[in-house]
Structure 1
Amino acid sequence: MRADTTTLIMIGYQNDYFAKDGILRSVIESDADRVLANTLDTLHALQHTKVLMVSTPILFTDDYHELIEPVGILAAIKESGAFKKNSTGSQTIVELAKFGEHIIEVPGKRGLNAFAQTDLEQVLRENHIEDVVLAGVVTSICIDSTARAAHERGFRVHVLADVTAGRTDMEQQFYCDEIFPLYANVMNHQAFISKVT
């Protein structure tokens, strides 16, 4: 893994998940503080490297007309009014915003997979990315969906076990132990940092 051909893709770093009063904070409540602390540790270590840091926020219109008969978490998002464009809850958390130009924001995510309906693949190809490293939430949903999509597009995929969060500790452990190793490398953030710095 080389810094100049590696990207860190961050999913879900918005107030509706991470703010103390976030609409969907309860989904990741037990791990939100851990994920955020480890994310910031990673970003501080990477900000002066050639690792491409990307954020992929999810945003919806006021009436959620993009969602056709949503189920699961997308139904929960619509019912709770989360991630509405221009709302406080949809904004990138201030902790990430502090890194400013070091993080490229790729807009357009309106579902589980950060590659769908976005320019993410184009951004990665233009930057000659070979290794995709994933951080954020929710492990069994957006992380898994995006990781599989990256694998299917020919990227080497890595998931940061201590910088991702599931809905429960059991779910997080199961995905890191049983699911991700089928198509990705699972590591902690310190191991990742040591490979690219």
Structure 2
Amino acid sequence: MTEPSKSALILIEYVNDWLSPTGGIYPMFQDREQLDTAVANSKIILDEARRRGMHVVHASLKFEPTYKVLGEGKYGLRSMMRTYGSFLGELADFYPGFEPAEGEFVVRERGGGSSVFVGTTLDSYLRNNGIFDIYLAGFSLRQCVESSMRNAHDLGYHTNIIYDASAGYTRKQQDDFVAEIAPFYANAITTQNFLTQA
């Protein structure tokens, strides 16, 4: 593993909308066992990243009630987020146990896109701190995590996906991602792999 101060754990969408039973997006997870496992593993990797002194980045969205930044949003995520009332108020707050610690970088400014790199300061933050080894985890695996992974690859980062600390809406989405998508863009690892890397 790279020097911890030159690597980053990037946590994507660890907010109430996704992880709380009262969240608007939470019901979309059809495989609750996969989700519960991902949350438990995410706590483990977050604790380990902090223990090692890695950079920790928290990436999510938070909108104002009119969703002006999304424009007309006729289809796709820009339409869905408005329809479901996503990322508003307390639903956009970080889920208990995943609140940013002092000094950890928070990315909130992306304008409704899937990737945490598009329209944000994340790439500048990583490059300005000499970070090229990154570890991604979060929700949903086949949307925001996958889009972020693809962008990270194209930007030249050494990208690792901690796939058992992430969840798709179904087990099949996770299995297909690991077998068919990740090998082209990243190193797919487990929580245990992350813990044993020195």
Deviation (angstroms), 1:102: 5.8
The question of whether the paired residues in 1 share the 8 Å contact of 2:21 and 2:27 is answered with no
Residue 60 (structure 2) pairs with residue 57 (structure 1): yes
Residue deviations 1:157-183 (CA, integer Å, cap 9, x gap) = 111110111111101110111101111
SS of equivalent residue, structure 1 residue 143: helix
Aligned equivalents of 1:62 and 1:75: distance in 2? 14
Q: Return structure 1 stretches of 4+ with deviation > 3 angstroms.
A: none
Count, aligned residues: 193
Task: Report the CA distance shift for 1:70/1:129 in structure 2 as closer, same or farther (over 3 A).
Answer: farther
Q: Which amino acid aligns with 1:157?
A: T
Partner in structure 2 of residue 15 of structure 1: 16
Q: Bigger CA drift: 10-19 or 70-79?
A: 70-79
Q: Bigger CA drift: 100-109 or 48-57?
A: 100-109
Task: Report the CA distance shift for 1:187/1:38 in structure 2 as closer, same or farther (over 3 A).
Answer: same
* TM-score w.r.t. length of structure 1: 0.92
The question of whether the paired residues in 1 share the 8 Å contact of 2:11 and 2:57 is answered with yes
Unaligned runs of 5+ in 1: none
Unaligned runs of 5+ in 2: none
SS of equivalent residue, structure 2 residue 160: strand
Fraction of identical pairs, as percent: 27
Residue 81 (structure 2) pairs with residue 77 (structure 1): yes
Q: Bigger CA drift: 106-115 or 129-138?
A: 106-115
Aligned counterparts, 1:37-186, within 5 A = 37-68=40-71, 69-84=73-88, 87-97=89-99, 100-101=101-102, 103-109=104-110, 110-186=112-188
Task: Report the CA distance shift for 1:61/1:151 in structure 2 as closer, same or farther (over 3 A).
Answer: same
SS of equivalent residue, structure 2 residue 64: coil
Q: Cα RMSD (Å) of the superposition?
A: 1.5
